[in-house]
Structure formats: C-alpha cells, structure tokens
Chain A
Amino acid sequence: MGDRFEPRIAVLCCNWCTYAGADLAGTSRMKYAPNVRLVRVMCSGRVDPAFVLRAFQDGADGVLIAGCHPGDCHYINGNHKTMRRFPVLQRMLRQWGIEEGRIRLEWISASEGDVFVRVVNEMTEAVRALGPLDWRTRAAMVVPETTHSPAE
C-alpha cells in the first residue's frame, strides 16, 4: 500500500438489492478495494441525508448511496424518493464545498455483484484522486449538528 492515500468510503445501501449484490460479489469470490464499509438499511428510501452528512462529518472521504433499480424496489417505489432527494443533497454538498465525486447514487441489483465491484473500485480511485476530505476541520464553522430527530 505504501504511502498512497487510502480513502474511507461509506456505502449506505438497501437490504434487498445492493446489499444482496455485495453478498453475491462475496459468494462469487470477486475482489474489490477494502476501502468501503457498508451500512445496511431496509430501503434506499430510508437513507436520510443526515446519514450522509454525518459520514462526512465523521471523516468519511466519500459516500455511496445504492439501492434497487427504479421499478425494482422491494417496497414498490422507496427508491424513487431516494432518486428525488439526491439532487438536493448534491446541491447542498456543493454549497458546503464537498466535491461532486465524493457522493454517488447507484442502482445495483441482487444479481449485479460485478457492478458492485466495479462501482466500489471506481469510486475508490475517484476519491483517492480527490485526496482526503477532512471535513470536520474544513467545515467545523458552518455545519450544524446533523442529528435532527427528537424521536430519539
């Protein structure tokens, strides 16, 4: 590995398609960059933008949101909400100075282990090229507390 920068990437993905696709990559013994950490939610529609902000705030260098292909959602259309939220999230991150390449939305089905591997590898290289984000120090002044949930 040497002194090469090793980015840390969060994958926020749904249980039914992308998590299963990553499982398939495993059962098929495909190899990919060890830089990603998956966080499973039941549907990509559950991915609160606050999760993404928190990952960046914690020190992640990139975030991948992934779910079922449009029309294939296990919950009929939860991923449509993800799709519609994403441009807003992108714009928000841009305003905070987070480069576009650090956030990505992908549809990866349970049968697309190879796509999961490709996306993870591509993203790792793209974020590696961007260098460390270190958003905590960069943006400590402008970012409010991301937990918003009085229900907790």
Chain B
Amino acid sequence: MARIGVFVCHCGTNIAGVVDVARVAEAARGWPDVVFATDYKFMCSDPGQALVKDTIVRENLDRVVVAACSPRMHEPTFRKACAMAGLNPFLFEMANIREHCSWVHEDREEATRKAIDLTRAAVAKARLLEPLQSRTVPVTQKVLVVGGGVAGIQAALDMANAGLKVVMVERRQSIGGRMAQLDKTFPTLDCSACILTPKMVQVAQHPNITLHTYSEVEQVRGFVGNFSVTIRRKARFVREDVCTACGVCIEKCPKKVDSEFEEGLGKRKAIYRDFPQAVPGRPVIDREHCTYFQNGKCRICEKFCEPGAIFWDDQDALIEEQVGAIVVATGYDLLEPDRLRPWGYGRYPDVMTGIEFERINNATGPTGGRIVCKDGREPQAVAILHCIGSRDRNHRHYCSRVCCMYALKFAHLIREKTTATVYNFYIDMRAFGKGYEEFYDRLLHEGVKFIRGKAACVTDEAMTPEEQGRLVVVAEATTLGEVIRVPVDMVILASAITPQRDAPEVARRFGMGLSPDQFFLEKHPKLEPFGTATDGVFLAGACQSPKDIPDTVAHAAAAASTAMSLVFRGIVEVEAQTAEVDAEACSGCKVCQDACPYGAISFLADRKVAEVNGGLCKGCGTCVATCPSGAIRGKGFTDAQVLSQIDALFA
C-alpha cells in the first residue's frame, strides 16, 4: 500500500483567491492511501520545499503529489526536493490547479470542484508510479551557432574565448547581419561598422571557431548533448584555399545585380561580397545571375583571377557536425513591403524604409552618405513616420522597440547633414533604455518637430500651392484634435520588425515553438528568455523578439553562458520515461518499428521480438498506443496510470 502526501499550494492569492485550497486538502485526506494532506502559501519557496522534504521523512511518504502550477513550470523543482529527501524523483506527480483552474475560472465552487478532481487524478496516478532511474550520457564539446549577426557573433566569441569549439553557420556571403547595414547606433551615435567589424574579424581568425558562410543548416537530429547537424555549404565557385580576396574579379565582372545588402538601392556584381568589409572577404559567384551560368559565355572573372581560384565545377557540400548544444541567432526581417503602400512605399520614389535610409546615410552606401532625394536634390523637409505596422492590429500587434530611438537618431543625422525641417509623427515616444531619455531630450532641444499622431497616409495629391509637387503626410495631430497635412520631400517609414519569413520552418527544424507573433518561443518569458522547448537549443537576439543592440548582445551572452554550463558539465541526463517491450507479450509484428519517429526500436530476429534502445527513445509513447498486443509499456505514462487518472476524473 502506498503512503501518499498531498500538498496544496495557495500561490499567494493566485490559486487561493479562487480555489478553496483548504477544502482541496481536506478532500484529499479522505482518499485511499493518502496519509498526509495540507495546504501552504507558496509550495515552491524554500520553506514550502522544506515542508515536502520534512514530511517525506516524518511520515515515511513513498509518493508525493503537489497541487499547484503547471508541471511545465515546477515539476523539476519538486522532483529535486523529493530526491533530496531520499525519494525517487519519479514518484512525484503534479496537479495543475493554477494555469488550468484558478486562472481560467471565476466561480469559486466550480473551480474548487475542478481542483479537487485534478488533485484526485494526480493521486490516482501517483499510486501507480514506479521509481525510474535517469541515465547520463556524455556531452559533445562543441556548440553550433546559427546566424552570424551581432547576436551570433557575441555568443560564438564568448564560447570560443572560454575554450569551447564553435561552428558558426551564416546564410549570407558574409557575417555581420543587420548591424553591418547600420550607419550610426543610438543613443551614442558611434559608428556601427567601427564597433562591429573588429568582432567579425575576431570570429574569422579565432582558432576555436569554424565559420561556414553562404551555408544553411539543413537537418538537426539527436538530442541535448548529442546533436548531429547537416550543413549545406552552397557552391561558391571560388576556391577558398586559393583566393586572396584581392577583389579584381568583382571589379571586372560585367554583370550588375540589385544588392541585398544595399536593400536594392545599389548594385553588386554576379561575383560579389556583401560589402567591402565582408568577412570572409573571398567573394562567391551568384549562379542565378552569372552570365557564364546563364548562357555559357563570359568567364571574365576567371581570366583576371591571377591565383586561379575560379572553380566552375564547385558543388553544394553537405557537412556533418556533432555538437552538444545549439544557439539559434537568426535575427529578424522587416514588414512585407506591400503592407507599406498606404504610406506611399513603392508608389513614390522618396518614400523609404528605415533600413534603406541607413544605407543612404552610410558613407559606403549608394549615395556615398549624402541625404538626397531620388532626383539628387537635398530635401527641404523630411517626415519620419513611427509605428508603421507596429502596434497596429491590421499588421503587427507588438512594439518593435527600436524605432522611436532610431527615428531620433535619423532626425539628428538629417539635421547634422542638411538644413531640412524634420517631423516625427509618433504615437508614444518610448525611450526606455540607458541614455535613451536623455537622447530624446537632446533632440527636443535641437529643433526637431514632434507631432503626436500616427500618419494615416502619404499622398502626392496637392490641395494647396505649397503642397504642389511634394509628398503630403496626412495625420491626426491628437494634441490639437485635428487632421493635419504636412508637405515634405522625403518620408522615412519606421516599418515593423518581423520574424524571418522562414521562421516556422526553422522552428520546426530545431524543435522550437513559435509565439503568437511568430517569433521563436522562449522557454520562460522571464526566467529563461534564451531557452526553448528543446533542451540544448538556445535563442539569442531578435529571433526571439525585437531587440536593440545592447539587449541583443546581453541576450546572446546569456544564451552562450547557458550553453556553456550545459556543455562544460560534460554529462547530461537523458529521458528516463522511455518505452519498454515485454518480450513475453510481443508478437513480433513490427508495427512499433514504423511508429517510432527515432528509429529506437529494433527487431531481434533470433527471438522474434522488438526491443527499445533506451538511449534513442524520447518517451513519446506513440509505439505504446500503436502496439496491438499491448506489449509496450510507456514508463511514466503507462496504460494503467493514464486510465487511473481518467477513472478518477470521470468514474
């Protein structure tokens, strides 16, 4: 007979405010095998855990049930407490009476009844729990970093400097990411490239970092501590061991293509590097646009390449890497351009996005850093429209977090370089970071005009002679309570930061979840904003949510240190709740083999029975439900355990 202890948590008023916790404990005292039941203010606190530990010893408990929050939150906490008191941690069960009860129901009676039901079901299952042993396996001493923006760079350098081997994969020709495209950074106005490029060079030269640019992660297999990753290294048609990155080929290539790095405002060649300070500096040939690949003629690059690095027969290579942990730092994209049409984007040449303005303002950009309209004139007035697609139910609900500040930065730079009047159309000014409010204050005194009201549209239909031939921003100035029309020559749209377009696919590849806004879902929004649903896979930077540079760097460093604490420990516990075949009952039909997503089930031909490899099994239980003979047990979720829960709830 079991000796079960039941602990009902108040969670302050989170549970006790709705559920009559004393009644739940009282009900539990009446159930078979329950020898102890109590309620307590905060079960997860130190004294709460001590209460569990002391009671295990004092009452000689052999099963523990805690009715509190989600097991996804505190199951590990209480399992640890059980283990410390000498109880096998798998003899613990949790009833979720917070997320699934007190927080979603208002009627005290209904909620209390449900809490009692859920606790009874947990007790029923607990009665049938068995002790399980966790096994440990060694952790591969190498980490994969996906994405070479500032987040990936920071994470990779932190880990490599600590002596860990790092493999970095970047989809573009060069690392550097979005930050490399920026001109100045707010609020300090230091040059983005000046602070980033030295770090890019460090990555390339670091003895502990293997850099694969122009490459993508194609497949991820395995589990925490032991991932095998397939990387597709795209054919670049330039021999990396021979190329000296002299750049003559780029100069001579006759084919011009819109540059992705310049946001289509400038051109690159068919053999190219993303930007002059690209790392690595060796160019790649863009097969899609190369004249030789298109019609079999040209080969000018080859003719001018003195070292003979052009290699037309290059092919994609698949590289296999074994890593213990993965840091995903895939960054962000910007709002789909067609959503910007109401604000004139794509209709008027002098309406541009923030990132396009970054390039125009940059000394290496398409205008050499001169702020000019498409016709070469210097603008007399510039409007910066905040929250284009952000904080907007028609587009993205969230705040993109960086726009207010870069809008201020733009205003300052425009006034520094031109005589233009600058208008900021904003909803709220969000200057939340260190030194940000001070920067806002500075701009208020620099004569920049701030209009509180979101721009409704941008039009070229003039209503007054003054508007003739100019762009007119129409907005409701909420402080005046009237619609105003402001004629300008250039409009900059602070368009929303969005997840990468392929975020759902990437999430699937790495076993991560997605938030409602499609950014990658963190393990815990406050305590583990860099973890994911898959152990050993961590998040860094704006792929989790919009972030400015300081926050991205801090997030990346946190992801790196968490990955390091996993890898340097050297061992990791693997799933104990695995499947197990009862050879006596197995009919040898092999249906389970097809059901297993991990190939963890093998067929022993000599004995004509199936066998589960506990190291490969993840404990999903699909084989258990599939076996027509009922010969497979899913430890921790056996038929008897689940059925006992169902009985306790509905019988």
Contacts and interface: CB of A to CB of B under 8 A. Distances in A.
Given A39-B645, A152-B638, A34 B622 contact: no
Interface string A49-78: 111001100111000000000011111111
A86 interface: no
Contacts of A150: 582, 584-585, 629-631
B646 A58 contact: yes
Given A31-B105, A150-B631, A78 B640 contact: no
Contacts of B649: 8, 10, 37, 39, 55, 58, 60
Interface string B593-631: 001011000000000000000000011111011100111
Interface in B474-489: none
A146 B73 CA distance: 33
Contacts of B633: 149, 151-152
B647 A54 contact: yes
Among A29, A48, A150, which residue has the most Cβ atoms of chain B within 10 A?
A: A48
A78 B632 CA distance: 16
Interface string B81-101: 000000000000000101110
Nearest to A58: B650
Contacts of A72: 507-508, 513
Contact of A37 (B70, B106, B118, B642): B118
A43 interface: yes
Given A15-B72, A58-B646, A60-B650, A71 B521 contact: no
A42 B99 contact: no
A149 B625 CA distance: 10
Among A27, A31, A32, which residue has the most Cβ atoms of chain B within 10 A?
A: A27
A147 B521 CA distance: 38
Contacts of A19: 70, 72
B145 interface: no
Nearest to A15: B72
Interface stretch (B55-63, B109-117, B367-375, B445-453): B109-117
A105 B121 CA distance: 23
Contacts of A94: none
B406 interface: no
B413 interface: no
Nearest to A46: B621
Contact of A8 (B107, B516, B632, B650): B650
A103 interface: no
A110 B513 contact: yes
A138 interface: no
Nearest to B102: A26
Contacts of B118: 37-38
A25 interface: yes
Interface string A1-36: 100000010100001110110110111011110100
A115 to B, nearest CB: 10
A26 B70 contact: yes
Contact of B625 (A31, A34, A38, A81): A81
A90 interface: no
Interface residues of B, number: 63
B280 interface: no
A111 B513 contact: yes
B591 to A, nearest CB: 10
A32 B104 contact: yes
Interface in B503-526: 507-508, 511, 513-516, 521
Contacts of B263: none
A84 B624 CA distance: 16
Given A30-B104, A149-B639, A151-B582, A59 B514 contact: no
Nearest to A37: B649
A21 B630 CA distance: 30
Contacts of B640: 147, 149, 152
Interface string B132-165: 0000000000000000000000000000000000
B527 interface: no
A51 B508 CA distance: 29
Contact of B651 (A48, A59, A78): A59
B642 A26 contact: no
Nearest to A38: B100
Contacts of B582: 150-151
Contacts of A148: 630, 639
A111 B620 contact: no
B389 interface: no
A93 interface: no
A37 B598 contact: no
Contacts of B585: 150-151
Contact of A74 (B107, B533, B626, B630): B533
A109 B650 contact: no
A58 B647 contact: yes
B622 A45 contact: yes
A29 B551 CA distance: 28
A37 B619 contact: no
B617 to A, nearest CB: 10
B629 A37 contact: no
Nearest to A41: B637
4 closest A-B pairs by CB: A26-B99, A46-B621, A45-B622, A58-B650
Interface of A: 1, 8, 10, 15-17, 19-20, 22-23, 25-27, 29-32, 34, 37-43, 45-51, 54-55, 58-60, 71-78, 81, 85, 109-112, 117, 146-152
30 contacts: A10-B650, A20-B513, A23-B99, A25-B99, A26-B99, A31-B105, A34-B104, A34-B107, A34-B111, A34-B114, A42-B577, A45-B595, A46-B625, A46-B634, A51-B642, A51-B646, A58-B646, A58-B650, A59-B651, A73-B597, A74-B511, A75-B618, A75-B622, A78-B622, A81-B622, A111-B514, A117-B104, A148-B639, A150-B631, A151-B582
